[in-house]
Structure 1
Amino acid sequence: MVLLADVVTTSREVAATRSRKAKTASIAGLLGRLDPEEVRPATALLAGELPGGRAGVGWSTLAALDVEPAPEPTLTIGDVDSAIDGVRLISGSGSGQRRAEALTGLLGKATAAEQEFLVRLFGGELRQGALEGVMIEAIAAAARVPTEGVRRAFMLSGRLPATAEAALRGGEPALGEFRLEVGRPVRPMLASPAESLDAALAELGEATVEYKLDGARIQVHRDGDEVRVYTRTLREITRSVPELVDLVRGLDCRSVVLDGETLALDDGGRPRPFQETMSRFGAQSSRELLLHPYFFDCLHLDGTDLVDLPLRDRLDALSKVAPQHRIPATATAERAAALFEEALADGHEGVVVKDLDSPYAAGRRGRAWRKVKPEHTLDLIVLAAEWGHGRRRGHLSNLHLGARDPDGGPPIMVGKTFKGLTDELLAWQTAEFQRRETHRDDWTVHIAPDLVVEIELDGVQTSPRYPGGVALRFARVLRYRPDKDAASADSIEAVRALLPGG
């Protein structure tokens, strides 16, 4: 039986080193000591996530708690898992007070170090997502199985705790049992930035070039008449997008899983602002703003899983089932430059160049999909904001920006900016940041590192001012990205790749 104190110690060891090898070894050592029933909750805790998902606890509740710590560690992983489940089940009148009482009971059994860990866990401050790569390697090491098998099982299950349990319980055979399940979302494959269209084409060889739409990522599953729609972060939005459900239900197939983008168009067929598309994801009906889907991949069709097949075969399946809803694309290198210009003229972001021989793989692993834009943009994590001066007095203005650490550490600060913020954004972020606040000083409010903002910049330069050794040049806010989490943010490697000659 493993104590919460062991998880806290391991977490601190991981945070204290920059060595990916050391992080992996520390986590694998703890995973190897777990009892079977401890694997799922412990894996979630090690990844900085609440076992079972959110528990409805805000920072205001956590900040109001003042509990005397226990002198010695006694809490087991099972105790913590049960207590979190208990908090999650509290609802109805007076639920806020009852959650506070339940948390007080849990924290009263925790040492000072355990209390700090639990408060950061409930507050989302440990949930960085960037630890996923290290966790996958640690699970593979603890179970003595190939990393690729763990990675594939995680992509198909979408759940790290379930993947760890399978690996440690049954090794490669258990991992091999994971299949694409229609109705269960698959972690999406992502594109990494390319310096130019010519560079991407030269790197990938035989490729398809597609519009990069200024929309929101969707994954659509159909099994008979049952249709489900998911976002990039695997959140289900089926009830909010009935027009997409009806469209997919009308396709000539029995079952299908499609990957693509959706966006709202104006009367001239040009994309409406991204925020208008995203506003539909929280709605209960379509109202008057209709979404249009554009699919670029097919992961399953009529009982056959396609994720391991080359992209060219998946595109053949897509052309068969939804030809009229395919994203504009060309497989002709001679047409690539013209398609890029057409995408920009139509109001979109640029193009994505994809290796036609590549299988479907979650995350930015490898370089099989490369996105090309006319301007440099990065998806970065907001770490904090400073109070403004003059006209911006009373508003949180100057943003502290961090890049994802691919080795599982906290985001790495790469710059600040107050440019590009409209009055509307200033008002929104001032209220939102204080809801996400972890701590503050006289000038700065620090927030949980899970909010992603898209930044446009002229480039980067070497700088000793920030921990990553680089700094953004002329950075300005384009928009916030509620469709992305910290695991989807650009890494410090992506930032460094923008250095001159990088």
Structure 2
Amino acid sequence: MLYHELVRVYQDLDSTTKRLEKTAILADFLGKVGDEEPELLSVVTLLCMGRIFPTWSEEELGIGAKLLMKAISMAVGVSPEDVENQMRETGDVGLAAEELYQKKSQVTLFSRPITIEKVYQNLMKMATISGNRAQFKKIDFLMELLSSASPTEAKYLTRTVLEELRVGVGEGTIRDAISQAFKIPQEVTERAHMLTNDMGLVAEVARMQGEEGLRKLTLKPGKPVKPMLAQLSPGIKTSVEEMGWAICETKYDGIRVQIHRHGEKIDVFTRRLENVSEALPEIADYVEKSLPHEDFIVEGEIIASRDGKPISFQYMLQRVRRKYDVEQMISKVPLTLYLFDVLYYKRPVLDEPLKKRRKILESIVKPYPGKLELSRQVKVTPEEIEMATDLFEASITGGHEGIMIKDPHAPYMPGIRGKKMLKLKAEPETLDLVVVGGTYGKGKRAHLIGSYLMALQDENGQLLTLAYAATGLDDQTLLELSEMVEPLIISKKGREVKIEPSVVLEIAFSEIVESPESETGYSLRFPVVKRIRSDRGLDEIDTLERIQSIFKNSQKS
């Protein structure tokens, strides 16, 4: 199947903002691929999402914007500076490539149509190259594609290399398209994806084995799944009464992790499904000592502590990011792991109610004081609300964020945010938003970006600007943030910059207000940057639906 057929699909998706239309376009194409080249279905499904690998995969192309611009310059016969200037002008590497190809002075004499299979093969080869002269070899494989590409193919090829497809397709749209294409009930497709976190596999099994095959897909240690998410609690009393009774536990302010044992291997994954085992070798040691040598998936929170008290979240991020001198950091930033759930022990247990999962967890964990412990919790009935209040106050006094209020009858629901798991913090609720632009400061801060344009995502994963945030940053954090975003600047105009969406910030605010000037229709009063959220990815930022919900609830009070 030729790559330009996939490119036509990208163009059709880009031409509409309506989710139902996008779903229909994808369903038709996936059905066609399933009929004509079913062996390509998994690949095509991922490519339709702008991905090359499943979200949990450790594989990566290792090609940044600079290397990509060099390859484009070689393909069209201009300098890398010309490519960079074009990119600044358009604000998008794909549009820059397309326009440069249309002006192309260097004509390829022996170009031949590119197939989807060839695109995928070359991308996979790039991911496996390492060592001496790796960048030159990667460029060779990339040039083999770019030298035969049409302007429109080059647009989407370059975006795919950076995994920034920009056609407004998220996991929900792909999931619905698979259901539609292969006549599978939506809830079956959704559950299969929840348990495997691999949309390509889901599409392939749906085509080959139908509903029965999808129902057989389940958790496998070694492949992480998205964490179950919490909503904001309206208050302890209300939440407990709605649940009948509740399990309340301390909410720790650290890095949420999913720990897998498969055979003799222990892997530690973040909530972004990144494998950070090498950065946190002592965690594997704690797990080795405290849990059985059986296959399992457990979930918990790692906090950095000193003298028994939690220390800044930023220290925790330093540990997770660390690639060198890990041993030195172990003594500088000691860690404690608090386990609070189990998803798999010898078999999947996520469908069991929380109260049973907790019993399983307690039966398999041998606490390692100060290193690996079970989360602190109490069982609370509507008549014993003070037990939850006492835990909340004790948690805050202990330097933690607050408490979680969990429905004891609820199964574990990967990637789902609902009323079965609630959070109550001492501080007002915050938003996780991505930086998409900024403005340089004045005076002594003229060389630093002092105000950041923040965005959230809609149901299709499209980014919509919400508000600028300029306060809350001390000089050190401001410098660190500026250094993070400088390489991501796409274009500059005066003091204003456009930034490639990548850096997530936690933003506090006093109120959400309606604003016709914002792309979301809302804005924030007195937004304050609380911290850089390196543990959050672009797909985890807050949504327009959540903003609307918070605003609606604020109007009732």
TM over 0.5: yes
Written as runs of structure 1 = structure 2, the 5 A alignment for 1:273-352 is: 273-283=312-322, 284-285=326-327, 287-288=330-331, 289-301=333-345, 303-322=346-365, 324=367, 325-333=373-381, 334=385, 335-352=387-404
The number of aligned residues is 498
1:475 aligns with 2:527: yes
Q: How far is 1:220 from its partner?
A: 1.2
Partner of 1:40: 42
| 2:475 partner letter | D
Distance 1:153 1:99 in 2: 34
Distance 2:151 2:234 in 1: 48
Q: How far is 1:195 from its partner?
A: 4.2
Partner of 1:55: 61
Q: How far is 1:375 from its partner?
A: 0.9
| 2:357 partner letter | R
- Residue number among 150, 164, 180 corresponding to 2:203 in the alignment: 164
- Using the TM superposition, name which of 185-194 and 480-489 deviates more: 185-194
Q: How far is 1:379 from its partner?
A: 1.0
Determine if contact 2:248/2:377 at 8 Å carries over to the other structure: yes
Written as runs of structure 1 = structure 2, the 5 A alignment for 1:34-433 is: 34=33, 35-51=37-53, 53-64=59-70, 65-66=72-73, 67-68=75-76, 69=101, 74-126=113-165, 131-223=170-262, 225-251=264-290, 253-255=292-294, 256-267=296-307, 269-283=308-322, 284-285=326-327, 287-288=330-331, 289-301=333-345, 303-322=346-365, 324=367, 325-333=373-381, 334=385, 335-373=387-425, 374-405=427-458, 407-433=459-485
Q: Structure 1's 130 and 220: CA in aligned 2 closer, same or farther, altered over 3 A?
A: farther
Written as runs of structure 1 = structure 2, the 5 A alignment for 1:435-450 is: 435-450=487-502
Q: Structure 1's 323 and 191: CA in aligned 2 closer, same or farther, altered over 3 A?
A: farther
SS at match of 2:268: strand
Return the index of the structure with the highest Cα Rg. 2
Determine if contact 2:430/2:508 at 8 Å carries over to the other structure: yes
1:319-347 superposed Cα distances (whole Å, 9 cap, x missing partner):
22227422122221412222222222222
The gaps in structure 1 that reach 5 residues or longer are: none
Distance 1:128 1:452 in 2: 21
Identity %: 30
Q: Structure 1's 78 and 26: CA in aligned 2 closer, same or farther, altered over 3 A?
A: same
Distance 1:322 1:75 in 2: 54
Q: Structure 1's 368 and 423: CA in aligned 2 closer, same or farther, altered over 3 A?
A: same
Distance 1:115 1:241 in 2: 40
Distance 2:161 2:23 in 1: 24
SS at match of 2:278: helix
Distance 1:192 1:129 in 2: 26
Q: Structure 1's 196 and 445: CA in aligned 2 closer, same or farther, altered over 3 A?
A: farther
| 1:231 partner letter | T
Q: How far is 1:32 from its partner?
A: 1.0
Q: How far is 1:404 from its partner?
A: 2.1
Partner of 2:87: none
Q: Structure 1's 463 and 496: CA in aligned 2 closer, same or farther, altered over 3 A?
A: same
Distance 1:131 1:345 in 2: 41
Partner of 2:5: 6
Q: How far is 1:446 from its partner?
A: 2.6
| 1:446 partner letter | K
1:460 aligns with 2:460: no
Distance 1:199 1:21 in 2: 37
Distance 1:10 1:196 in 2: 47
Q: Could you state the TM-score of these two structures normalised by the residue count of structure 2?
A: 0.83
Determine if contact 2:10/2:167 at 8 Å carries over to the other structure: no
Distance 2:116 2:27 in 1: 16
Distance 2:234 2:457 in 1: 20
Cα RMSD, aligned residues only: 2.5
Q: Could you state the TM-score of these two structures normalised by the residue count of structure 1?
A: 0.92
Q: How far is 1:101 from its partner?
A: 3.9
| 2:298 partner letter | L
Distance 1:166 1:235 in 2: 25
Q: How far is 1:50 from its partner?
A: 2.5
SS at match of 2:193: helix
Distance 2:18 2:245 in 1: 37
SS at match of 1:482: coil
Distance 2:169 2:407 in 1: 25
Bigger helix share: 2
| 1:419 partner letter | T
Distance 1:47 1:453 in 2: 24
Partner of 2:27: 28
Q: How far is 1:129 from its partner?
A: 10
| 1:368 partner letter | K
Determine if contact 1:382/1:450 at 8 Å carries over to the other structure: yes
Partner of 2:92: none
Q: How far is 1:393 from its partner?
A: 0.6
Q: Structure 1's 22 and 158: CA in aligned 2 closer, same or farther, altered over 3 A?
A: same
Determine if contact 1:222/1:257 at 8 Å carries over to the other structure: yes
Determine if contact 1:192/1:367 at 8 Å carries over to the other structure: yes
Distance 2:315 2:167 in 1: 27
Determine if contact 1:382/1:402 at 8 Å carries over to the other structure: yes
Q: Structure 1's 194 and 459: CA in aligned 2 closer, same or farther, altered over 3 A?
A: farther
Distance 2:236 2:68 in 1: 49
| 2:380 partner letter | T
Distance 2:431 2:441 in 1: 24
Determine if contact 1:150/1:175 at 8 Å carries over to the other structure: yes
Determine if contact 1:49/1:127 at 8 Å carries over to the other structure: no
Determine if contact 1:183/1:223 at 8 Å carries over to the other structure: yes
Determine if contact 2:485/2:503 at 8 Å carries over to the other structure: no
The gaps in structure 2 that reach 5 residues or longer are: 77-100, 368-372
1:501 aligns with 2:503: no
SS at match of 1:180: coil
Distance 1:17 1:210 in 2: 45
